[in-house]
Amino acid sequence: MKKISNLGIFTILFVSSLTIMVGTVIAPSLSGIVQHKNLGFSPGWLITLPSLGVVVFAPFVGRLLNRLGTLRLLSLGLIPYGVLGVIGAYITNDFLLILDRFLLGVATVTVQVSVTAYIAECFTGKERMKMIAWQGMAIELGGVIFLAIGGMLGEINWQFPFYIYLIALLCLFLVWKTLPKMQANKEGEEVALDTNTKGAAKVWSIFGASLLAMMLFFIGFVTLPLYLPGSFGFGESETGYFMASISVVAILTASQMPKMVHMVGDGKTVALGFLFFMLGYVVLAISTSWLLLLLTIIFIGIGFGFTIPLLNHMMIEASMLQTQGKNLGLFSMGVFGGQFLSTFIEYISHDYKAVYTVAATMALIIGFVVYFLFQKINKN
């Protein structure tokens, strides 16, 4: 097996950062987009429609992985990602804009499934968990950088954040130049086969946990661009910095996630993540000062760092090589399905404090359910 260079590892992490960027990159300029586009649908759908594309097409992409291989599938995803992303700035027809954002989700799941499968091919055991943790850090670092850049560009012109999607073409060049073609890792197959004896229950539990974790995380990304300017007078760049700060905390937390798993186990770590989501939304529900909002940054960031990267690793470990594409597609459905479901939270109430109260209650309940569910699965 060929060794991956440091530049190759950088490429893997750089490509991974595109998955969270798909919706969030235009979030800070959402108010500007609303002013210039006569949208006939909720503006939050611009952020979450790609998630619907992921949910619908993830099963098909999972099957394509076994036929085309990781690098070929990755290349096929990066080109439409860049093109579909940037042309969204110039589409004025509602139907075409919805279709564009939906198809952007198809490109996104292609990128996510193939790059995660490539990690699974190249790394095993503790090295794989470390790489998945790095991937989670890279995703959130992308959130930090792209949200900040998106906020600054949005203040100059509401269309400029859409150009960030063209970074996918740079990623394509790096993939061609730095990533060697890998054969399936036999050691990884043995580990997966042993883990898979626990049955489909663990796979579906991971799917459900990833869907709910991402839904709770993304409630903030859907509501904060409108809540912060209206309630605290934030500008677009300030909103971008605030949301990027959540990603900074998530990066730091993801870096410590393997240590937490070693100390308390994977199921308890995931449950702990949901409890931090609860704390984050409790603070949002009661905040009257922007200083108190700093706690929200910490709590929601920790919630992400203890859930999504770890659940990604758990899904890989629960898969055989033959089912890896299918299960990674299922994980993508969970992650982006959660993003899409977060759109509907605004229909609960026009009062954001009521929305955050509901989110906190959900996080508390889910945390306890996840704790007892994984405890039961791990004992069997």
DSSP string covering 298-341: HHHHHHHHTTHHHHHHHHHHT--GGGHHHHHHHHHHHHHHHHHH
Give the architecture-level CATH label for domain 6-379. Answer: Up-down Bundle (1.20)
Helix crossing, 352-379 with 200-232: angle to 10°? 160
- Which range scores top for mean pLDDT: 32-46, 229-243, 360-374? 360-374
Q: Give tens-digit pLDDT for 184-206.
A: 544 444 444 444 445 678 899 99
Q: Is the pLDDT of residue 66 over 90?
A: no
User: Which amino acid is present at 13?
Assistant: L
The better pLDDT of the pair 249, 192 is held by 249
Give the per-residue pLDDT at 27: 75
| Ranges of each domain in the chain | 6-379
- Summary mean pLDDT of the chain: 85
pLDDT score recorded for residue 194? 43
Q: Which of 36-40, 76-80, 256-260, 373-377 has the highest mean pLDDT?
A: 76-80
Residue 243: predicted pLDDT:
81
What DSSP state is assigned to residue 160?
G
CA angle 307, 3, 9 (to 5 degrees): 40
* Alpha carbon distance 105, 204 (integer Å): 22
Per-residue pLDDT at 110: 94
Residue 43 has pLDDT above 50, yes or no: yes
Task: Summarize pLDDT for 283-332 with one digit per residue, the tens.
Answer: 999 988 878 889 999 999 999 999 999 998 899 888 877 777 788 888 88
The total of other beta-carbon atoms located within 10 Å of residue 281's CB is 27
* 141-145, 214-218, 251-255, 259-263: least confident range: 141-145
Half-sphere exposure of 70 (CA within 13 A, CB side): 24
* Single pTM value for the model: 0.80
**How confident is the model at residue 206, as a pLDDT?**
94
State percent of the chain over pLDDT 90. 36
If you average pLDDT over residues 56-71, what whole number do you get? 86
In angstroms, rounded to a whole number, what is the distance separating the alpha carbons of residues 129 and 124? 8
- CB-based burial of residue 351 (10 Å sphere; 0-12 exposed, 13-18 middle, 19+ buried)? exposed
Q: Which of 123-137, 225-239, 360-374 has the highest mean pLDDT?
A: 360-374
Answer yes or no: are the C-beta atoms of 313 and 136 closer than 8 Å. no
Integer CA distances (angstroms), 194 to 185, 266, 312, in order? 15, 17, 18
Distance CA 328, CA 61 (A): 9
pLDDT in tens, 17-39: 898 788 778 877 777 787 778 77
pLDDT for res 71 = 92
Question: What does the DSSP assignment read for 1-54?
Answer: -PPPPHHHHHHHHHHHTHHHHHHHTTGGGHHHHHHHS--SS-TTHHHHHHHHHH
pLDDT at residue number 186 = 46
